[in-house]
Amino acid sequence: MSGPVYHSVLEAIGDTPLHEVTRIDTGKCRLFLKLENQNPGGSIKDRIGRSMIEAAETSGALKPGGTIVEATAGNTGLGLAVVAGQKGYKLILIVPDKMAQEKIFHLRALGVDVRLTRSDVGKGHPDYYQDIAAKLCAENPDYFYANQFENPANPAAHEETTGPEIAAQLASIGLAADAIVCGVGSGGTLTGLWNYFSKSGASTEMVLADPEGSILAEYVATGKLSKDVGSWMVEGIGEDFIPPVLDLRGVKNAYTIDDAESFATARELLKAEGIIAGSSSGTLISAALRYCREQTQAKTIVSFVCDSGNKYLSKIYNDFWMADNNFLELDMKGDLRDLILRKHAEGNSIIVAPNTDLKRVYGQMKLYDVSQVPVLDGDELLGLVDEEDILLRVYQQKNFNGVASDIMTTDLVTVDAGEELTRLLDLFTHGMVALITHKGKYQGLVTKIDVLNHLRMTQ
């Protein structure tokens, strides 16, 4: 069957597929995922990007060629960027600095003015992303502040499109949604879906998936706003306040999901179902699976792949990042080998051969963002090349002619894996790197940041 032919990318927003989870245990329930990663901007936020801009055009708040401003953890910005670019608007985004680099690269490639700010401060702080956006618009009255947290066009997008799509897709196979599992960033998805299903007479329950550290799940459980706000690494959902557009009346169950479970579930979804989902999708699907497995009667449950995991390849789908942040269980040896992030025995160390040309050595350093590279002949450690060695050689010769063995340092100090951590600190204070060996064989390189990560995870 052939699909539609579009004449604008905006026509491709919405009407996303509904996928049934069949290779992960869902208990007595059937779990369906709305694949919002199939939107042209890669996320569910394309819907509200279009809705908010079109509503502003209709009201006259946004004039032709005008400037849009928004505070966003990423996907709303991408949704706005796709629509703004097609309609000829400028876009300024105020973004917390925990956003994945892939999102920032994507935004800047779309021509967006991205301004980073702190992610470790709350509402009322001068560096808080929403307050910066509001101030910028106050100082520039001609700017349009999209303000997804207060904009009624945000939930309206889901009431008018997402909800009807879900109902129609399930009806086509003789089903109706008993529960929908949502996260809350601005609250538009949950509120819009609640508005649609409650008005249609359906008895659909709304279930909240909330990152550990957010105040929303506790608010649902107790009706009280906690001041004990934590931090979380999942992007795009969880809050330290109640967004004005959020309506929690339909929520009877709320699940708190920590980062480790969210990331593990996203990775499991990729392996089991072949769907690469973002970090917030891991939170939603974790909560959906818990809800499904708790039911004693068969139910039809819907949740979301909110965005594409392609935006998180450097994070949750990167084993080194996961290990670096203590989200992967590693084979621990009980010695200094446990501090090595890229282990040579596993084929993960960044190394060069003695006859590797200098341009390639430099390329390896740039590619893997390292400042020194061990030189090995097979498993034998011969020397070490650092960025200063290459810099001096290229500056003096005015070219990259030569190979690693021409400039490598051979006066090496190695550290047996059985030695104490203080031995590494002694090397670092003398400006040296730690080359770890075990039974005379090279194991890998430990840097200062590796030791700091080890101390952070163990103290």
Find the CATH number of the domain harbouring 445. Answer: 3.10.580.10
* Mean pLDDT value of segment 7-30: 97
Residue owning tokens 């107790």:
222
Query: Which residue type is seen at 442?
Result: Y
- The pLDDT of residue 320 is 86
The Cα 429–Cα 176 span in angstroms is 65
The phi and psi torsions of 240 (rounded to 5 degrees) equal: -110, 10
For residues 66 and 98, membership in a common domain is answered with yes
322: in domain: no
- Which of 312, 341, 369 represents a domain boundary (last residue)? 312
> Angle 140-142-147 (CA atoms, 0-180°, nearest 5)?
80
- The pLDDT of residue 121 is 84
121: in domain: yes
319: in domain: no
446: in domain: yes
Q: What tens digit of pLDDT does each residue of 90-145 get?
A: 999 999 887 778 888 999 999 999 999 998 887 789 999 999 999 999 999 999 99
Name which of 46-55, 212-221, 341-350, 395-404 the model is least confident about. 341-350
For residues 119 and 161, membership in a common domain is answered with no
The Cα 150–Cα 123 span in angstroms is 15
For residues 179 and 202, membership in a common domain is answered with yes
Instruction: Report yes or no: 364 and 459 within 8 Å, Cβ to Cβ.
Output: no
For residues 343 and 408, membership in a common domain is answered with yes
Instruction: Report yes or no: 182 and 189 within 8 Å, Cβ to Cβ.
Output: yes
- Which of 243, 278, 312 represents a domain boundary (last residue)? 312
373: in domain: yes
For residues 246 and 111, membership in a common domain is answered with no
For residues 293 and 335, membership in a common domain is answered with no
- The pLDDT of residue 401 is 94
Q: What tens digit of pLDDT does each residue of 288-327 get?
A: 999 999 999 999 999 999 999 998 998 999 998 998 888 9
1 pLDDT above the threshold of 70: no
For residues 134 and 89, membership in a common domain is answered with yes
The Cα 304–Cα 19 span in angstroms is 9
Decide: residue 421, CB within 10 A, 0-12 exposed, 13-18 middle, 19+ buried.
middle
Active-site position among 43, 214, 262, 280: 280
| DSSP string for residues in 409-424 | B----EEETTS-HHHH
Instruction: Report yes or no: 107 and 76 within 8 Å, Cβ to Cβ.
Output: no
Active-site position among 34, 43, 45, 349: 45
> Angle 200-203-209 (CA atoms, 0-180°, nearest 5)?
105
* Mean pLDDT value of segment 262-284: 98
The Cα 299–Cα 229 span in angstroms is 34
- Which of 145, 176, 193 represents a domain boundary (last residue)? 145
Instruction: Report yes or no: 210 and 256 within 8 Å, Cβ to Cβ.
Output: yes
Q: What tens digit of pLDDT does each residue of 224-239 get?
A: 998 888 889 999 899 9
Q: What tens digit of pLDDT does each residue of 335-380 get?
A: 999 899 888 988 889 999 999 999 999 999 999 889 999 999 988 9
pLDDT band at 73 (very low <50, low <70, confident <90, very high): confident
Number of other residues whose CB lies within 10 A of the CB of residue 248: 19
- The pLDDT of residue 458 is 77
Averaged confidence pLDDT in the chain = 94
Find the CATH number of the domain harbouring 117. Answer: 3.40.50.1100
3: in domain: no
For residues 162 and 130, membership in a common domain is answered with no
For residues 409 and 438, membership in a common domain is answered with yes
Q: Which of 46, 93, 47 is nearest to 71 (CA)?
A: 93
* Mean pLDDT value of segment 270-274: 98
For residues 335 and 403, membership in a common domain is answered with yes
324: in domain: no
325: in domain: no
For residues 365 and 447, membership in a common domain is answered with yes
- The pLDDT of residue 227 is 85
| Token pair of 354 as six digits | 């003695």
311 is catalytic: no
Structural domain boundaries, residue 203: 9-43+153-312
**How many domains, in total, are found in the chain?**
3
The Cα 313–Cα 321 span in angstroms is 10
| Token pair of 142 as six digits | 């001609």
For residues 252 and 365, membership in a common domain is answered with no
90 is catalytic: no
